[in-house]
Chains A and B, each alone.
Chain A
Amino acid sequence: MIEAWGGTLNLILYLISMLGLGYYAFLTVLSPNTLVTRYDLGEKSVPIIRIVGTFVLPILILGIYLLFRGPEGAWIFLVLNFLVSTHQVILGWATRFKMIDPDSKQDVGDEIVGHVFVIIAIVLIYRLSDIIYA
């Protein structure tokens, strides 16, 4: 497994990324009320949060598959993760500067996680470029 991922560092970074994704998958699919409370959302948000879960969970499932199979040729998966995290970061800053949804509640922890995911995605794409683009 370590060889397939081009070294221990890449594998650890990928595992961190998948653990984060797993955490959000758990929240969106099995515990949407946690998000409702944390962000002061209404009960009407629960259906939307579950729809988000239908996006998060498949990416986690495929991510776990790639963990064991190796990332050969899977550039699009890593790029997709990078874009999702980048959008999360942009959205976080846009909300912080009151450019969108000025009344919404923010969570600094989630914003930090978004930045960490972007960095991990960039590092992984760079370090695995000879494998994922094969």
Chain B
Amino acid sequence: MVENFNGIFYLILYIISIGLAGYYSFTFLFNKEKEFAKYNIDTSAAPAANFGIFWVTAFFLVGLYILFTGPEGTWPFFVINIIVFAMATVYQFCFHFNIAFLYGRDKVNSTIEQPIVSVVVLVINLIIVYGLSDKIYL
């Protein structure tokens, strides 16, 4: 497994990235109330959260598979992750700092956690793509 990921450093980064996807997947599937309370969101948003979480869960499952089989030829997975978190970073920063996407902004709480997590995961994925470029583009 370590060899597949060009060393322990990239493997740890990859596990962190997948672990975060797993965390959000589990939380929003089984513990929505806690997350909703954090952002002052009521239960009417539950279907929207469900609609979102099956994308995250799919990423988590595919990510787990790659963890055990190796990343050879899996560039679409990593490229999609980078675009997702690049967009999420822009959105989360604009939303948190009241720059754009303000519809409904006054009705919900925003924490700095979301923009930070988006940036961290974006950077992690950029490092992983750089470090594994000899394998993922095979």
Contact = CB atoms under 8 A, between A and B. Distances in A.
Interface of A: 32-33, 35, 39-59, 61-62, 66, 73-77, 79-80, 83-84, 87-88, 90-91, 95, 100-101, 103-105
Contacts of A40: 44
B80 A51 contact: no
A54 B77 contact: no
8 contacts: A40-B44, A44-B40, A44-B41, A44-B104, A47-B39, A55-B84, A73-B138, A77-B80
Given A43-B107, A55-B55, A50 B101 contact: yes
B76 A74 contact: yes
Contacts of B47: 39, 41, 45, 95, 101, 104-105
Main secondary structure of the interface of B (DSSP, over half): helix
Given A44-B107, A59-B80, A52 B48 contact: yes
B103 A48 contact: no
Nearest to B29: A100
Contacts of A48: 41, 45, 48-49, 52
Contacts of A80: 58-59, 62, 76-77, 80
B30 to A, nearest CB: 10
A62 B104 contact: no
A36 B104 CA distance: 12
B107 A83 contact: no
B80 A58 contact: yes
Contact of B45 (A33, A45, A58, A62): A45
Nearest to B44: A42
A51 B88 contact: yes
Contacts of A46: 103-104
A58 B83 contact: yes
B87 interface: yes
Contacts of A43: 103-104, 107
Given A54-B91, A55-B52, A56-B55, A104 B84 contact: no
B117 to A, nearest CB: 12
A41 B91 contact: no
A54 B46 contact: no
A87 B52 CA distance: 10
Contacts of B48: 35, 39, 41, 45, 48-49, 52
